[in-house]
Structure 1
Amino acid sequence: ALGANGSPKTRVQSVGGEYTAIELMGSDRPGLLSEISAVLADLNCNVVAAQAWSHNTRIACVFYVTDSASSRRLDDPARLADIQEHLRNVLRGGDGVAHTNVSTDLTRTDRRLHRMMSDDPDNELVVDGGYGEKAGPCCDFRPRITVEGCDEKGYSVVNVRCKDRPKLLFDTVCTLTDMKYVVFHASIVSDGPYALQ
């Protein structure tokens, strides 16, 4: 996520024994991914894979890198700190002080990016209850959420009725998982502009 005052944040972690994952979060601008790639190349890092999400003026990205000479993950703490500092300088622009976190949390890239964007206080994912569309007098797009206990089976059923949009079920499952709930089964039904999960 972000540090104080919306400053960019970087996180470096080794994953799967093969790559080092570098998480970046900050203000988006034209050419930013090119600048990040150039810095990584200058620091002798080989970008194996990368994925980025952007919304409004915010960007969250994960770069999977190896050492360009050995093709192995980066383990040297001093080198990782140097990489983080260079990347913070690229992201920072003139926005103030950057913060860095190092984590060993192993999470799928989609979930990691979802969490980064959701935790970003400068990123408004939902506006007026439905991605910029205000509810009219005949249609109420305010989400309706119910939780029902099923004592005989030992689980709860969460029902969500809201405005339909792409990746809605994914976002719901990620949110529940981030709240430490185990999702055993999930489904979605679209009904006009609504979705029922």
Structure 2
Amino acid sequence: MDVFHVTDQQGKKITDGKTIDYIERVLGPKGHTTDGMKDCPGKRVGVHSFGNHTAIELIGRDRPGLLSEISAVLANLHFNVTVAEVWTHNRRIACVLYVNDNTTSGSVDDPNRLSIMEEQLKHIMRGCEDDDNVARTSFSMGFTHIDRRLHQMLFADRDYEGGGVTTEVDYPPSFKPKITVERCEEKGYSVVTVRCKDRAKLMFDIVCTLTDMQYVVFHANISSNGPYASQV
């Protein structure tokens, strides 16, 4: 369970009933349910067969033309790609795709078709390398947020331990990230401070990273000023 302590713009406790009801409604399970999302899974990774879609997870070594080859394999097997999201890091690629049957526009339950799809996608992801650890293909089970799942996939891949090629970003002095970790002995936890250029989903990425590293976030103080962000 995540607990967030929020205040109004004056820093005071929220007591207005309408505001509290609105927050509960928006953040609740039906807060983002629309008719459009019933037809498209959007930002959710489904089960083996989720509604009219089947979810596929791929992770492997990135190279030019890889997505084109994946799309060609799925097209030849008569699958439509309805939703896809792809992340890359250190020449590794992780992606989650929603596909359905080209004829029925429904999910695919035939184990033979799924087995053929998995084998061909593994062949594409491996490229010219024979090591099975180079690439992995699977059908997701359970529900999760796509961005959260991609975080987990890349963290489990542990590409940062393999000495991959990284490019040093030449930040302007004012935007160069500053990260400090201090031990708070009297309270029994560590204080992680991140100061950097603000961007969309910055807090989400930081919390996911700490969670994947088996740390628990007890509370946080977040502020932004123009293009800058500070998270403690």
Q: Same fold (TM over 0.5)?
A: yes
8 Å CA contact retained: 2:178, 2:196? no
C-alpha displacement of 1:22? 0.7
Shift of 1:108: 1.1
Q: Distance in 1 between the 2:212 and 2:108 partners?
A: 28
Task: Give the Å deviation of 1:147.
Answer: 7.3
The yes-or-no answer on 1:120 pairing with 2:157 is: yes
Structure number having the greater helix percentage: 2
The verdict on how the C-alpha distance between 1:66 and 1:181 changes in structure 2, with shifts beyond 3 A counting, is farther
Instruction: Give, as a single letter, the amino acid of the residue that structure 1 aligns with 2:69.
Output: E
* Higher percent of residues as strand: 1
Q: Identical aligned pairs, as a percentage?
A: 46
Matched, 1:173 2:207: yes
Q: CA deviation at 1:39?
A: 0.2
Unaligned runs of 5+ in 1: 1-11, 151-155
Partner residue, 1:9:
none
Instruction: Name whichever of 165-174 and 29-38 sits farther off.
Output: 165-174
Instruction: State the match for 1:39 in structure 2.
Output: 73
Give ranges in structure 2 of 5+ residues lacking alignment: 1-45
Which structure is larger by alpha-carbon Rg, 1 or 2? Answer: 2
Shift of 1:182: 8.3
For the residues of structure 2 that align with 1:145 and 1:171, how far apart are their CA atoms? Answer: 20
Matching residue within 94, 101, 110 for 1:67 = 101
- C-alpha change, 1:19 and 1:175, in structure 2 (3 Å) is same
Determine the C-alpha separation between the residues in 2 that align with 1:47 and 1:149: 53
Number of residue equivalences = 173
Q: Deviations over 1:156-193 (max 9, x none)?
A: 99742034254431122224555788879765225897
Which position in structure 1 is the counterpart of 2:117? 83
| Whole-angstrom CA distance in 2 between matches of 1:26 and 1:57 | 9
Asked if 1:164 is matched to 2:228, the reply is no
In the alignment, is the contact (CA less than 8 A) between 1:161 and 1:194 conserved in 2?
Answer: no
Asked if 1:95 is matched to 2:129, the reply is: yes
Distance 1:119 1:188 in 2: 28
Name the SS of the counterpart of 2:204 in structure 1.
Answer: helix
Q: From the superposition, tell whether residues 148 and 109 of structure 1 become closer, same or farther in structure 2 (CA, over 3 Å).
A: farther
Query: Could you state the TM-score of these two structures normalised by the residue count of structure 1?
Result: 0.68
Q: CA RMSD in A?
A: 3.7
Provide TM-score, normalisation by structure 2. Answer: 0.59
Q: C-alpha offsets along residues 21-51 of structure 1, whole Å, 9 cap, x if unaligned?
A: 1111111111111110000000111111111
